[in-house]
Chain A
């Protein structure tokens, strides 16, 4: 290989194959990626088959996260909504209940990298709690962790139910429990998290989750996906994070793309739970989406391909994919992307949605645009 000179690189072109790889896979460096035919080569190769060198960031080839040991798989988590248990009260109103247990658990956030997390129900992010506007919600919280915790919901509720230290139940000590009860409002995509001090650490350790309140009349049918943007400060220096991701496992959706159907509506619930970094962002290749910040209005505010979120900001994004192929999505804070917050949508011709994780990517022959 020729020596790369600084001037050549600044001019935007490098020699030979390196240039092709760079423009393809470095976010923003080239046109939207539609891998088409060679997607099949990658599909069967398992984790760690993508990227490398100028082809893009990757973990060490051949290394994989043990989802079994973690107790959750981001490929399943992305479509998992916890509707809890319901019963109708005498008043005719629906009571919806969940039980959440805080527990300390070591999880593998990148192949071979173990993080001593604090979790709700043994997973990070915690379960995606989903309900309908106007219901009465009751959350039974049990603290099995070695540290005191709370559950603080974003939403409309009385101070006693706010889940902060010193008010209402306040801190729930190790072995303790409490019940949070409030109305489901306003509709939109929200979040919950621990509010014990130090707050940054209690959030960074993994105590957060998405909280979705559907409008009374529901939303139009769509393939719904939840994406909690997060990160892990594995060396505990409180200076940014070492690993970034959506739904905890970095680069997971690079190796196991999120499979969706062509020409059918997709709805993303995107929540930024990232601690220690002031902003996060969400960008999709080869497509645009309608942006509903916080999901509290049924009218989108813009049609775009990139949004910015501070911590606890969240949005509903609605889109359809007009072409088959693999489409990257990632933080357009590219540093986060190259440290793990990157993935692919794999778009096929239907009939695969809702199948088990193993079937998701069995899309048959992909149609290459223009072919």
Chain B
């Protein structure tokens, strides 16, 4: 402790830590008093209670509909009765009693739903308010057993890992091309990533608007993006520092490739999430068309990863394989999460992570597309950016989930 130095003491004689602790303690006491006295002078809410429940998850089993609800309003909510398509049903209210603010509850409805049916579930609260939830097309929710996780892993491998690996096969070709063309290829990567960033932002706004406002809605998208951007910046600083320490030649290219792979990997996490959740609610037709579509779409991502490696020293096979796993494997994780624990808040946040990561990576790539006069927008790079955006737009048409 440096209590003796002048800077650690205030003008009086109180230790520095006390000056910090005292306001903290006073703030805590003020808050506690305010809470205990119920906001003196403010009175109660005007008007009836505001009741709001968000359905976070719907599980359909034969003869049964399970709803995981969360109270996203300011007041406690008691679900007294439930009707499905204008018929009251028996239900298990979970723990029973009122659902407090931000608490969740699982309601299990005894209802003979049929596949393909459209169901409006109306929760009638103790005050007579109704909170509706629609099931657009009823389909049995897959059991979360090993074979299901196996299927999701296979799906993630098909749409994430394999296409990225295929795209990376272009590395030997890229290593042979001239500097001018190289800039175009890297610009292609920039265009492609820019497209993904815009696409992800739009999707995140959509999903965020559908999520409960209590948890921030679209704010979660930007929170995720900022977090990913700053985390990747920190990772970049760390890798740069290590490279300087090792003074390894060619490490700069590999570092760039690693950053691109990480950004794309975080993006693929969100993409896997969308695929997995669509599968779980029966909106995704598994089949060759889907896999081929995603393969074309994600193969371009593989090219983006190996583009920085075209310059400099030839990297080892294991390093390249590691890059492929970093970029592709998160799709597997995303698919598993999406199919088993999807909710809009999580999805918004994860999409934000992908967007932030991509924006960071674009910043990393821009120096590589500058020409000899330092202009980022030169003829080859402009052509590359346009080609990258167009490639993703066109292949994206094949896989609208």
By a CB distance below 8 angstroms, the chain A residues around B111 are 53
Q: How far is the CA of A17 from the CA of B271 in the complex (A)?
A: 43
Q: Contact at A335–B116, with CB atoms within 8 Å?
A: no
Asked if A58 is an interface residue, CB under 8 A from chain B, the answer is: yes
Asked if A52 is an interface residue, CB under 8 A from chain B, the answer is: yes
Q: Contact at B112–A63, with CB atoms within 8 Å?
A: no
By a CB distance below 8 angstroms, the chain A residues around B93 are 60
Across the two chains, which residue of chain B brings its CB closest to A4?
A: B114
Q: Contact at B88–A61, with CB atoms within 8 Å?
A: no
The answer to whether A4 and B78 touch (CB under 8 A), given A57-B89, A114-B127, A242-B124, is: no
Asked if B83 is an interface residue, CB under 8 A from chain A, the answer is: yes
By a CB distance below 8 angstroms, the chain A residues around B126 are 112-114
By a CB distance below 8 angstroms, the chain A residues around B80 are 60, 63, 110-113
Total chain B interface residues with beta-carbon distance under 8 A: 29
Q: How far is the CA of A223 from the CA of B281 in the complex (A)?
A: 55
The answer to whether A339 and B110 touch (CB under 8 A), given A6-B115, A242-B128, is: no
The answer to whether A113 and B128 touch (CB under 8 A), given A1-B63, A251-B88, A339-B86, is: yes
Asked if A288 is an interface residue, CB under 8 A from chain B, the answer is: no
Q: Contact at B140–A338, with CB atoms within 8 Å?
A: no
* Residue from A6, A53, A110 within 8 A of B81 (CB atoms): A110
Q: Contact at A53–B63, with CB atoms within 8 Å?
A: yes
* Residue from A53, A60, A114, A250 within 8 A of B82 (CB atoms): A60
By a CB distance below 8 angstroms, the chain B residues around A1 are 62-63
Q: How far is the CA of A4 from the CA of B61 in the complex (A)?
A: 12
Q: Contact at A51–B90, with CB atoms within 8 Å?
A: yes
Q: Is the interface of B mostly helix, strand, loop or mixed?
A: loop
Q: Contact at B130–A9, with CB atoms within 8 Å?
A: no
Asked if A59 is an interface residue, CB under 8 A from chain B, the answer is: yes
Q: Contact at A112–B81, with CB atoms within 8 Å?
A: yes
By a CB distance below 8 angstroms, the chain B residues around A339 are 83, 86-88
Q: Contact at B90–A4, with CB atoms within 8 Å?
A: no
* Least distance between B342 CB and chain A CB atoms (Å): 23
Q: Contact at A114–B88, with CB atoms within 8 Å?
A: no
Scan residues 119-146 of chain B and give those whose CB is less than 8 A from a CB of chain A. 122, 124-130, 140
Q: Contact at B90–A60, with CB atoms within 8 Å?
A: yes
Q: Contact at B128–A338, with CB atoms within 8 Å?
A: no
Q: Contact at A235–B90, with CB atoms within 8 Å?
A: no
Asked if A232 is an interface residue, CB under 8 A from chain B, the answer is: yes
By a CB distance below 8 angstroms, the chain B residues around A109 are 128
Q: How far is the CA of A111 from the CA of B79 in the complex (A)?
A: 11
Q: How far is the CA of A112 from the CA of B122 in the complex (A)?
A: 15
Asked if A18 is an interface residue, CB under 8 A from chain B, the answer is: yes
* Residue from B63, B87, B124, B127 within 8 A of A57 (CB atoms): B87
The answer to whether A111 and B63 touch (CB under 8 A), given A54-B112, A59-B88, A242-B122, is: no
Scan residues 59-110 of chain B and give those whose CB is less than 8 A from a CB of chain A. 62-63, 78, 80-83, 86-91, 93, 110
Scan residues 1-30 of chain A and give those whose CB is less than 8 A from a CB of chain B. 1, 3-6, 9, 18, 22
Q: Contact at B124–A234, with CB atoms within 8 Å?
A: yes
Q: How far is the CA of A53 from the CA of B111 in the complex (A)?
A: 5
* Least distance between A94 CB and chain B CB atoms (Å): 43
Q: How far is the CA of A113 from the CA of B87 in the complex (A)?
A: 16
Asked if A340 is an interface residue, CB under 8 A from chain B, the answer is: yes
Q: How far is the CA of A251 from the CA of B62 in the complex (A)?
A: 26
The answer to whether A340 and B88 touch (CB under 8 A), given A1-B62, A53-B112, is: yes
Q: Contact at A115–B88, with CB atoms within 8 Å?
A: no
* Least distance between B212 CB and chain A CB atoms (Å): 20
Q: How far is the CA of A115 from the CA of B130 in the complex (A)?
A: 13
The answer to whether A58 and B89 touch (CB under 8 A), given A6-B115, A53-B110, A112-B80, is: yes
Q: How far is the CA of A161 from the CA of B93 in the complex (A)?
A: 51
Q: How does the 8 Å CB contact mask read for A47-87 relative to B, with 1 for contact and 0 for none?
A: 01001111001111101000000000000000000000000
Scan residues 25-83 of chain B and give those whose CB is less than 8 A from a CB of chain A. 62-63, 78, 80-83
Across the two chains, which residue of chain A brings its CB closest to B78?
A: A112
Across the two chains, which residue of chain A brings its CB closest to B128?
A: A234
* Residue from A6, A60, A61, A235 within 8 A of B128 (CB atoms): A235
Q: Which 4 A-B pairs have the closest CB atoms?
A: A234-B128, A112-B80, A338-B87, A1-B62
Q: Could you list which residues of chain A lie within 8 angstroms of chain B, going by C-beta atoms?
A: 1, 3-6, 9, 18, 22, 48, 51-54, 57-61, 63, 109-115, 232, 234-236, 242-243, 250-251, 335, 338-340
A-B contact pairs, 9 of them (CB 8 A): A3-B140, A4-B114, A57-B87, A61-B90, A63-B81, A113-B124, A113-B125, A113-B126, A242-B122
Contacts A6-B116, A110-B80 given; 4 further ones with Cβ under 8 A?
A: A53-B112, A111-B81, A234-B124, A250-B88
